[in-house]
Structure 1
Amino acid sequence: MEREWVTGDCWLGCERVGLSVLFLGPVQWDGQHAPFFACDDCLGRLMRQANSYFMQRRPAAA
């Protein structure tokens, strides 16, 4: 599924506004929902962090 980049605000660390962002999914807090967007730079950082997490937890080769 191809996701569409839209103009909006980054909800991650940079908190920049009015740039291309990608919808990552809803954030749920205290029974409320909000749209969660990230810019390309922050999305790349998030992907690297997730990949590092996954690689550290891979089962050892037999």
Structure 2
Amino acid sequence: MGGRARCSTLPVRLSRSPARRRLRHAPLLGRHNHELLAELGLTAREITALEADEVIGRAPVR
């Protein structure tokens, strides 16, 4: 599945609140692994090792 879709940020419309729409989809699984783990103090080498050991990844475990 790909492409853009318009989605409301709220499943209901409140009479005194403007409805906002998001133009971006949610991030894919693993999309921000490197950024988040680096912020936690892991080095690029450690993150690569976690990927190689399949501790973290970009696809659900089957």
The TM-score normalised by the length of structure 2 is 0.22
Higher strand share: 1
Higher relative contact order (CA 8 A, sep 6+): 2
The TM-score normalised by the length of structure 1 is 0.22
Max Rg structure: 2
